[in-house]
């Protein structure tokens, strides 16, 4: 009987001990967390920004990081949240964040490099194969203008633009814009405003463009008088004169190519 009482007493004492330990650990963790969150231990005091920057500034990036991490304990800073804040800038293509003890946040940033304008308000980064939408006020780089009815078509349109520019090499014709419409038809705009309707497909469009370049010198066409040229014919192309050309304004004539 006495043995049973002793066992029961030991059990109760053990339960009380474990409860006390659990209470102390809980309070210790709470106190430790509060202490870390307060920034009194190992506070973030510096932000180091790495990367070749043209449109973003180190000061702007450091300020964005400081709004999240400034004065906080470096161990409690969420690197993912810092990275997300940096990527809110449309010019930021990639960002990485790491901590350098005891007090420094190191940020590495890769900017978008615009290769072309995209539709009315965007730019296209060929290296990242991405469309982005920064504030274009004050941005006036002489880039080709590309467009399509969906942003995810940008890589396809860009590759086609490269192929068409190569097809124009050796001539005095310069492409300034390329658009892919909803029926997948390419329309290329030259520097004088003349539109060349290439039709569907990059390869067929390139072939038609090369054929047009070869035939143009003997065609008698003055591009300054032409609104558009439709290249989708098998043995020639249709020409639409400008309204102010004075010769059959608004009418389309078909030019045949001798093979």
Per-residue pLDDT tens digits for 224-248: 999 999 999 988 889 999 876 555 4
Fold held by 46-111? Ubiquitin-like (UB roll) (3.10.20)
As a whole number of Å, the CA-based R_g of the chain is 33
Contact call for residues 225 and 242 (beta carbons, < 8 A): yes
Pick the residue with more confidence: 237 or 141? 141
The 3-state DSSP class for residue 154 equals helix
Please state the pTM of the whole predicted model: 0.79
pLDDT tier at 15, thresholds 50, 70, 90: low
What is the C-alpha to C-alpha distance for residues 233 and 196, in angstroms, rounded to an integer? 12
> Is the pLDDT reported for residue 156 higher than 90?
yes
Per DSSP, what are the bridge partners of residue 99? 105
Per-residue pLDDT tens digits for 96-140: 999 999 999 999 999 999 999 999 999 999 999 999 999 999 999
Pick the residue with more confidence: 208 or 235? 208
Hey, do 46-111 and 114-256 end up sharing a CATH topology, with the first three levels equal? Answer: no
The residue ranges of every structural domain in the chain are 46-111, 114-256
pLDDT at 104: 96
Q: Which of 19-28, 53-62, 161-170 has the lowest mean pLDDT?
A: 19-28
Architecture field, domain 114-256 = 3-Layer(aba) Sandwich (3.40)
User: Quick one: average pLDDT of 76-99?
Assistant: 97
The 3-state DSSP class for residue 127 equals coil
pLDDT at 236: 85
């Amino acid at each position: 009987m006495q043995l049973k009482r002793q066992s029961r007493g030991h059990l109760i004492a053990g339960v009380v001990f474990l409860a006390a330990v659990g209470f102390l650990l809980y309070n210790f963790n709470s106190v430790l967390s509060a202490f870390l969150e307060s920034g009194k231990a190992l506070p973030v005091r510096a932000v180091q920004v790495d990367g070749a920057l043209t449109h973003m500034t180190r000061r702007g990036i450091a300020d964005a990081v400081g709004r999240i991490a400034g004065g906080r304990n470096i161990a409690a800073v969420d690197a993912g949240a810092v990275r997300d804040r940096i990527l809110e800038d449309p010019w930021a293509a990639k960002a990485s964040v790491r901590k350098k003890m005891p007090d420094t946040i190191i940020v590495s940033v890769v900017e978008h490099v615009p290769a072309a304008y995209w539709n009315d308000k965007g730019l296209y980064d060929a290296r990242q194969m991405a469309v982005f939408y920064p504030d274009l006020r004050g941005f006036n780089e002489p880039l080709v203008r590309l467009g399509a009815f969906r942003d995810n078509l940008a890589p396809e349109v860009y590759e086609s633009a490269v192929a068409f520019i190569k097809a124009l090499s050796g001539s005095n014709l310069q492409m300034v814009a390329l658009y892919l419409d909803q029926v997948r038809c390419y329309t290329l705009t030259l520097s004088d405003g003349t539109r060349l309707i290439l039709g569907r497909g990059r390869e067929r469009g390139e072939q038609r463009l090369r054929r047009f370049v070869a035939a143009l010198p003997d065609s008698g066409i003055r591009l300054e008088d032409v609104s558009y040229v439709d290249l989708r014919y098998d043995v020639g192309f249709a020409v639409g004169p400008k309204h102010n050309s004075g010769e059959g304004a608004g009418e389309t004539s078909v030019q045949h190519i001798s093979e």
